[in-house]
């Protein structure tokens, strides 16, 4: 599954960069 800190797994798909300004590399695949 895909976890993004505590925001949502779908954030890395289409709002990772626009969310906090960080690249989608912060996504943790567990």
Query: pLDDT digits over 4-23, tens only?
Result: 555 555 555 555 455 555 55
Q: How many whole angstroms separate alpha carbon 20 and alpha carbon 23? A: 9
Q: How many whole angstroms separate alpha carbon 1 and alpha carbon 18? A: 21
- Determine how many CB atoms are found less than 10 A away from the CB of residue 2: 13
Q: How far is CA 4 from the centre of its chain?
A: 4
Tokens of 7: 């925001």
- Structural contact between residues 29 and 9, judged by C-beta atoms closer than 8 angstroms: no
Instruction: With a cut of 50, say whether residue 30 has pLDDT above it.
Output: no
- Give the predicted TM-score (pTM) of the model: 0.14
């Amino acid at each position: 599954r895909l976890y993004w800190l505590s925001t949502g797994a779908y954030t890395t798909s289409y709002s990772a960069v626009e969310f906090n300004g960080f690249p989608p590399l912060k996504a943790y695949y567990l």
